[in-house]
Structure 1
Amino acid sequence: MRRLKFSNLLLSAPALLLAAPVAAADLNVTVQIPQLNVAEYHRPYAAVWIEREDHSVATQLAVWYAQKESKEGAGTKWLPDLRQWWRRGGRDLALPVDGVSGATRPAGQQQLKFQSGKAPLNDLPAGKYELVVEAAREVGGREVVRVPFVWPVKSMQSLAAQGQTELGAVKLDLAP
């Protein structure tokens, strides 16, 4: 039986690390929710989805809304205020949707990470798309931000768009 020398193991370790598959996300979304200086602040309801060129929904990525009903009528009651999302597929969903639905998010940067070959990207065919983020806030406004991209990606890309009121920067990082 042949023995490996410790020095041989040290030399081969970096090669093994380079040969290992990388488990990095293929599609990373960062949504900035601004802190607004208003008398009555409510966290925004928000939806994040991918649209085809004809503006039909290719896949839902996230829907953030008040998860519990309250005396103010929270919960799904106000989801139609996300007008574009609602008209393009939100009203057809049976909420909550596993892996998509979540509670409203506080001000700050919110991260979403997805890998190709896994839901919700596993059935996304090659083509031109738009990442769409829509936010609506009680006693506030509504805003939609779009970031066009091509799938699948051939090289690392960092794309961004800037909201004006209810949304800040929306960043899309793509990796092959």
Structure 2
Amino acid sequence: MLSYNPYGLIIELNMSNNVDYLNNIISYQAMHLFASGLIDDVIIGNAYASEEELRALSEVNRYQLMLHVDYVKQISDIEKPQHFRRGDMNEIVIRSTMPRVTYKDIPNPPHDNEEEFQRGDVLIGNDNFGIYKNEFQIVLKPHKEPRKNKIGSIAKDELFLLDFIKP
């Protein structure tokens, strides 16, 4: 009820973690909080935070989600540029279309395209996908499409962040 106060009081949340569960969780929590759009600042008061955890936290960009991808194999340069989500959202995939423009003349033969793609899989349109060739996508709902190549998957610990990726 305090957050609905008529006085404009600033509300702070003090979250504690089980020490055994702290392994890299601080930066994930910060990404989650920033992505929610509900907070302005994250203040860490954790006596057990390691240098590595604090370094990871310092690299969190509150304005841009940096998801980690586990690649299926060595990938080409056209398969790994920085991406942004298109404004015309759909429920099946997150689409980043600039690579299909930038790399439209670069061949991208089919590979890793026969299985059903799962939430968090990272795809790129192959040579058979017409004008969508080299379009980068992240799967939200499972589907099959032989005109897309699986190039990796979002790290399992970060799948929850897909719901926060906006145009």
Instruction: Report the TM-score when normalising by structure 1.
Output: 0.22
Task: Considering fraction of residues, name the structure with more strand.
Answer: 1
Instruction: Report the TM-score when normalising by structure 2.
Output: 0.23
Q: Which has the higher contact order (CA 8 A, sep 6+)?
A: 1
The structure having more radius of gyration, on CA atoms, is: 1
